[in-house]
Structure 1
Amino acid sequence: MMQAQQLPLRHSHLSIADGVAEFTHQRPASRNALSPEMRQDYHDMLDRVEADRSIRALILTGSGGSFCAGGDLKAIQDIFSGPDPSARRPEMMRRRLQDIHKWLRRLRDLEIPVIAAVDGAAAGAGFSLALAADFVLASERAWFCMSFAKVGLLPDMGSLYALPRVVGMTLAKELMFTGRRLEVADARRCGIVHAIHPTDTLPEQARRFARRFAAAPQEALALTKRALNRSFESPYDTLLDLECQAQALASAVPYYAEAVDGFLNGKPARFDWDRQTEA
């Protein structure tokens, strides 16, 4: 394995090794609440990851036994109680969310698999962040909560879009209206969680899972993800057109010709999820 590149940020940390970027929330005292500094860290992390073609997967995780307990209510209270009365205007909240949406769209559309490794709380904005990932791996003590109603807010950071598409409208309404806690086994049964691992092995299990994408066809996965992210809103004919365009692009990449030649000559496939156990 190559030595990891370490990039400390404001309230988080980015590590890159063996084609995997690992972005860790580093505010354990607040259960990794999403501070303004951490939101800026997401901007900077995505700049770095998007620019590096050697990165084949991204892991989002937390420190100190929590993934992310939601928005930083203390920071918001400080803003509201400050000397500037305009900070309490609805327009300012709208602008803060619009700034979040800038990097949230980039995270959702990132052209590599995104894996949320959830240990402990994924509440409020933390639950929304997990839903923005392509896969959620969780520890045995992980739990999820759409806690927005508890503080008089509605779900945000894309969860109004994502959660009904994962669990169905009826359960999404229940989780959002009640703000009840969803234990990890129930989250696995309703499709939020891909796999559950012992707490002490979750970090390495997430890295092993991410490394398995190292040999995957990069362009094909990116095009597949782009199409899937639009599939619920697109008519059948639109997706057929997108399929034609994307397949034409994928077939022009050397990976396709090499894979076909290998198959016809009886060589093992470079990317075979069923055969490989660890990249």
Structure 2
Amino acid sequence: MNTLVYALEDGVATLTLNRPESKNAISPEMADELGELLARIRADEAVRVLVVTGAAGAFCAGGDVKAMGEGGPRTPEQRRAGMARYTRICTELMALDRPVIAAVDGVAFGAGFSIALMCDIVLLSDRARLCMVFQRIGLVPDMGAYYTLPRVVGLQRAKELIFSAREIDAAEARQLGIAMEVLPAENLMPRALAIARSFAGASPVAMSVSKRALQSSLGSDLPTMLEIEAAGQALASNSEYAKEAVRRFASREPAQFRWPAAGS
């Protein structure tokens, strides 16, 4: 891969957007590589958790605007067909039934902001800056932002962030519920990896069921969610992980899963 760096160790996968010369802006090549890699990750049962980050003090500056202007005029149909590569990224990332942690340093503009919103947990450095920048260049939000942003911040605030294309800092992002934690830049990846390693020790069955259920919950009703809950509990309680967890509890042995305290 020319635009991504990928590593997998003890169930923790780390995906780094790696075009530092453009603050990791998404070129067509990066979009294709990202779609392919996410498909591989989704099919790899050795991956228990995914951390997404960016190289060289930036998360992602959005789409590569320079590349957008190259290649001559294209019809709306051709441009819509070209969006398929970005749709694939959203489909693969949202379909991943394991936890995804975004470790966001520096800029997360446009599609970079959208990628962060698709992750289950967002950690920001204290120098992170986020912006639904599309309106500034006459475009509309993409990569799932129309779906994810209102679910995170509410409809009125989502409208304000999209219509105004204003920048928000890490503190405001946390206040709006976009970020779970804000950390000094040097602590960002250690914290992300500490959380990731804790997830790698969790029940893969329980985690998968919980993630899928939560993704369905806002568009569902109570009877449906109760049925998902009952079916999921039957699966989880019959897993080898749950049996071992019960044995450890009865024997007063340390649990397999333990959430890392803040700052650890």
Q: Which residue of 1 aligns with 2:38?
A: 46
Q: Does 1:250 align with 2:246?
A: no
Give me the whole-angstrom Cα distance separating, in 1, the residues matched to 2:145 and 2:262.
34
Give the secondary-structure state (helix, strand or coil) at the position aligned to 1:112.
coil
Q: Does 1:141 align with 2:127?
A: yes
* Unaligned runs of at least 5 residues, structure 2: none
Contact 2:195 2:260 (C-alpha < 8 Å) held by counterparts: no
Number of aligned residue pairs: give it: 264
RMSD: 1.8
Cα drift, residue 257 of structure 1? 1.8
Give me the whole-angstrom Cα distance separating, in 2, the residues matched to 1:259 and 1:275.
21
| 1:274–1:35 Cα change, 3 Å | closer
Output aligned runs, 1:198-277, within 5 Å: 198-273=184-259
Q: Deviations over 1:179-198 (max 9, x none)?
A: 00011100011111111111
Give me the whole-angstrom Cα distance separating, in 1, the residues matched to 2:262 and 2:163.
42
Matched to 2:33, the amino acid is D
Q: Which residue of 1 aligns with 2:14?
A: 22
Q: Does 1:190 align with 2:179?
A: no
* Unaligned runs of at least 5 residues, structure 1: 1-8
Equivalent of 2:99 in 86, 95, 113: 113
Give me the whole-angstrom Cα distance separating, in 2, the residues matched to 1:274 and 1:15.
22
TM-score, normalised on structure 2?
0.94
User: Percent identity at matched positions?
Assistant: 45
Give me the whole-angstrom Cα distance separating, in 2, the residues matched to 1:199 and 1:262.
37
Q: Relative to structure 2, which stretch is displaced further, 216-225 or 253-262?
A: 253-262
Give the secondary-structure state (helix, strand or coil) at the position aligned to 1:196.
strand
Q: Deviations over 1:135-189 (max 9, x none)?
A: 1111111010000101111111111111111111111111000000011100011
Equivalent of 2:55 in 63, 66, 70: 63
Contact 2:42 2:92 (C-alpha < 8 Å) held by counterparts: no
Give the secondary-structure state (helix, strand or coil) at the position aligned to 2:160.
helix
Q: Does 1:92 align with 2:78?
A: yes
Q: Which residue of 2 aligns with 1:127?
A: 113
Q: Relative to structure 2, which stretch is displaced further, 257-266 or 26-35?
A: 257-266
Matched to 2:143, the amino acid is M
Give the secondary-structure state (helix, strand or coil) at the position aligned to 2:50.
strand
Q: Which residue of 2 aligns with 1:78?
A: 70
